[in-house]
Amino acid sequence: MRRLLAFLIPLLAWTSAAHAAGCEIGAPGSATRIAIGDTGRPLLAHVPKGFDGSRPAPLVFLLHGSGGTGAQMLADSRLAETADRHGFILVAPDAGIALDKGFAWNIPGVPTIAGKIPGPDDADDVAYIGGIIDTLAAKGCIDRARVYATGLSGGGRMTSWLGCVAADRFAAIAPVVGLRAGNPLASDPSRPDPATCRPDRPMPVIAFAGDKDGTNPIAGGGAGYWQYSMHAAEQRWAALNRCTAAPVTRWVSEGVYEERYADCADGAEVIGRISVGGGHSWVVDNEALWALLSRHRR
């Protein structure tokens, strides 16, 4: 038995070290720029404190707003502190369409803040984000069953788009001041166009917004890509997730109320959290964000 243990202990230590060596994406507790294949688009990856690569971690995408950058979003959201406390890897990529200042996400049919609808020559951000997942999974860094996305404004719309077209890659999404359920219907912009959001599985949705947001108002209106209300988006996601319970509204903290659709297929849910007096900003309790996301697996 002693001889067996003398053999097994070094072997197990070597296996653990080899696994950790395969997940070389930066020092724990810091953000590092890493390459994703030959895309020429490095991204910031924050590795949580204490991460040793011995087992795959959850992954959260943090998507910046239109005209922003991943670095700005990482700093403004302070979500890295939550990642350190709960042990998830946080990635903050730059969008694929360069603007005079910052970047914009490629959401087909949706004009950027520069007024241009993305064309076939623009970078495919859905494919790029999928490549990030595959790269980090191949390194043994992340758990494919626990991949999540959140984002602000234009990043919230991109997060919503990922829920529509890449539901097989994400366990849950959390748009911030940017919940959509497809593009506005051409014949009636007050409703989402069902043809533009057809996820292939129920998608848990946790959305955050402020009731004083004048850019993406929760009541609808605003820019052409916005138009329908946040409530209409919630209702559409509830229909897509085959939720059967009537929506329930309740206060969850001082100045924050929640609209929840439950009894949905495959354990999905649709939640909208509204901050009273909140504007077009990161109106998020990061601990609550992670608690709501992390209870879902793909």
For residue range 246-262, list pLDDT tens digits in order: 999 999 999 999 999 99
Q: Is residue 92 part of a domain?
A: yes
Q: Is residue 7 part of a domain?
A: no
Confidence at residue 9, expressed as pLDDT on a 0 to 100 scale: 38
Q: Is residue 6 part of a domain?
A: no
Q: Rounded to 5 degrees, what angle do the CA atoms 236, 297, 177 make? A: 45
Q: Is residue 20 part of a domain?
A: no
**209: containing domain:** 33-294
Q: Is residue 130 part of a domain?
A: yes
Is the Cβ–Cβ distance between 208 and 276 less than 8 Å?
A: no
Q: Is residue 12 part of a domain?
A: no
- pLDDT confidence tier of residue 239, bands split at 50, 70 and 90: very high
Mean pLDDT of 221-227: 90
Task: Say how many domains are in the chain.
Answer: 1
The C-alpha atoms of residue 228 and residue 234 are separated, in whole angstroms, by: 11
Q: What is the DSSP letter of 63?
A: E
Task: Show the beta-strand stretches assigned E in 153-294.
Answer: 172-176, 184-185, 188-192, 205-210, 248-253, 256-261, 270-275
Is the Cβ–Cβ distance between 130 and 147 less than 8 Å?
A: no
Q: What is the pTM of this model?
A: 0.91
Is it the case that residue 3 has pLDDT exceeding 70? Answer: no
The C-alpha atoms of residue 115 and residue 267 are separated, in whole angstroms, by: 39
The C-alpha atoms of residue 270 and residue 203 are separated, in whole angstroms, by: 8
Confidence at residue 13, expressed as pLDDT on a 0 to 100 scale: 38
**Closest C-alpha to 273, from 188, 181, 175:** 175
Q: Is residue 14 part of a domain?
A: no
Domain containing residue 180: CATH number: 3.40.50.1820
Q: Is residue 68 part of a domain?
A: yes
- pLDDT confidence tier of residue 22, bands split at 50, 70 and 90: low
